[in-house]
Structure 1
Amino acid sequence: MTQSQVLIVQHVPWEKPGRILDGLDDLGVASTVVNIAKSKKPDLPDFDQMAGLVVMGGPMGALDYDRYPGLKAEAKLVRAAISVGKPVLGVCLGHQIIATALGAKLAKGERPEIGFAPIKRVDKHGFFSMWDKQIDVLHWHNDVVGLPAGAQLLARSEHTKVQAFRVGSALGLQFHLEVTPTLLEEWLDEPSMVKDLKAAGGSKAQLREAFAACNPQIQPLADQVFSGFAARCNAYAQTLGAASAQPAV
């Protein structure tokens, strides 16, 4: 990358950045999307020019390195980004990749969490300053993670102790604030997602109805979280630009 950009790591075509990308676009922060899950030695953009890192969701396990060797490279990338203070955001699988990259344990949850259900705020942070104590959000996961050492727990749910955390320059979200109405329809056109939904006792009609009911509360929270992340990426990009403008000594 000649220009600083936010690197967005996708794992499957339908788990897109959605509102995360909207937040970046609103501030004019450039981004590029890659899928490196199956690459043993992925070709990645210049790390020094990365203004931030987003790791999206996917159906694989965070430690499934045998089938998806690129996940190991993602974990290394997460650790490197956090070590130098680059903004990092992980959603669902991405949340689990951040946690496990920093030494947290990965396990199967008590039961799959699929559909809308409440999470409870444990601690207040700038990203969640407008958030009430409890809010219904979209869940879609089987695995859960522990809290990395030194991390601040931000949210939990009845069946998942770590729903959101902050550690260094990274924010992990087990739930899906990024999903827009259009993206939801893409999920519901994907057979594997529909299979999971039905196995959890849900239906397309129920999920659409719940999304319509919850979205007016979720949209402002998503805007705050993702605009905050975009602002951090923009500020980091400016430091990169300032550094590159310095004359060589």
Structure 2
Amino acid sequence: MTPQVLVLQHVPWEKPGRIATAFDEIGLGYQILNVVDKKKPDLPSFDEVAGLVIMGGPMGATDYDKHPGLKAEAKLARAAIAVNKPVLGVCLGHQIIATALGAKLHRGEQPEIGFAPIKRVDKHDYFSMWDKQINVLHWHNDVVGLPEGAQLLARSPLTKVQAFRAGSALGLQFHLEVSSALMEEWLDEPSMVKDLKAAGGSKSKLREDFAQYNPLLHPLADQVFTGFAARCNSYARRLVRAAQEGAPKDPVIC
């Protein structure tokens, strides 16, 4: 089987968006699964996974009693990072990776929903085009600490860890993946609109802000996600070579 990227989605509207577009543009296959409520999820063979993407969702990253599949996602993230398999987490996914690596999860001082600035703390090749400060789309209540040994990439006044690198993993608390079409899907989802209004926002204001910031964010998102897709593609080729040469498969480390 040709190695594919595994995309773990938790709710129908939190789609990979621009991340999937980056895979499509280089012809890299991916599989989208929702295993959040499955205690023993049926996941693809680990040695056939070219990369792992963990998307957002309204649940807590360590809410294992209500959503037992989250524990399997955390184990998969640790195993992938242990063998240097590319991993990307967005919002909840960012928190799942961080907590899987030992960071603490807690409720933020207040919800961070809508466009607001983050400050780049450190440069990485994923973020080589970024200015020191940029307005991005936020949509979260929980926050995480920085995993031990991880590189902090961005922060905001309300959230100390907005982006980090930990080995082969990249965590993004904010939402670069949201295209204009996906934004409209979010604004058609009652639970998202409820969160937005509870945080003092409105559909009209969010649409105005998206129109203002999207022209700058789009190329930055493309840079991050095409870079990640390229890493996954390289890893896929490595898996194919290993299979052809009869080399040992990726071990699953829990």
In the TM superposition, residue 247 of structure 1 has moved relative to its aligned partner by 5.3
Once residues 116 and 153 of structure 1 are traced to their aligned partners in structure 2, the CA distance between those partners, rounded to angstroms, is 21
Alignment of 1:10-21 (within 5 A): 10-21=9-20
**Equivalent in the alignment of 1:220:** 219
Sort the Cα spacing of 1:50 and 1:247 in 2 relative to 1 into closer, same or farther, 3 A: closer
2:188 & 2:216 partners in 1: Cα distance? 25
Which SS does the other structure have where 1:39 is aligned? coil
* Alignment partner of 1:178 is 2:170: no
Aligned to 1:155: 154
1:24 aligns with 2:15: no
Structure 1 unaligned segments of length 5 or more: list them.
none
What's the TM-score, normalizing by structure 1? 0.98
The answer for the alignment partner of 1:39 in structure 2 is 38
| Alpha-carbon distance in 1 for matches of 2:45, 2:37 | 20
Partner of 2:241: 242
What corresponds to 2:251 in structure 1? Answer: none
Q: State the alpha-carbon separation in 2 of the partners of residues 209 and 118 from structure 1.
A: 16
Q: Any idea what SS the aligned residue of 1:113 has?
A: strand
- Equivalent position of 1:5 in the other structure: 4
Q: Deviations over 1:71-92 (max 9, x none)?
A: 0000000000000010000000
Mapped to 1, the partners of 2:162 and 2:127 lie a distance apart of 13
Which whole-Å CA distance do the structure 2 matches of 1:7 and 1:25 have between them? 14
Render the CA deviation track for 1:74-118: whole Å, top value 9, x for unaligned. Answer: 000000000001000000000000000000000000110000000
2:110 partner letter = R
CA distance in 1, matches of 2:29, 2:109: 39
Partner residue in 1 for 2:77: 78
2:194 maps to which residue? 195
* AA of the residue aligned to 2:12: P
Between the aligned partners of 2:143 and 2:23, the Cα distance in structure 1 is 28
- Structure 2: distance between partners of 1:95 and 1:231: 20
Equivalent residue, structure 2, for 1:50: 49
Give distance in 2, aligned partners of 1:41 and 1:202. Answer: 39
CA distance 1:143–1:247, shift in 2 (3 Å): closer
The 3-state SS of whatever aligns with 2:31 is strand
Letter in 1 for 2:80: A
Query: How many angstroms does 1:244 deviate by?
Result: 1.3
Structure 1 CA distance, aligned partners of 2:106 and 2:229? 31
Query: 2: CA distance between counterparts of 1:28 and 1:131?
Result: 27
RMSD: 1.0
Secondary structure, in 3 states, of the residue corresponding to 1:161? Answer: coil
Where has structure 1 moved over 4 Å in runs of 4 or more? none
Partners of 1:173 and 1:24 in 2: CA distance: 18
Q: How does 1:83-98 map to 2 (within 5 A)?
A: 83-98=82-97
SS where residue 138 of structure 1 aligns? strand
Report the residue type matching 1:186 in the other structure: E
Structure 2 distance, partners of 1:217, 1:119, is: 14
* Matches of 1:83 and 1:244, distance apart in 2: 19
Partner Cα separation in structure 1 for residue 157 and residue 213 of structure 2: 18
Q: CA deviation at 1:246?
A: 1.4
In structure 1, what residue type is equivalent to 2:149?
G
Task: Give the SS at the match of 1:54.
Answer: strand
The corresponding residue for 2:121 is 122
1:126-163 Cα shifts (integer Å, max 9, x gaps): 00001000000000000000000000000000100000
Change (3 A) 1:247 1:107: closer
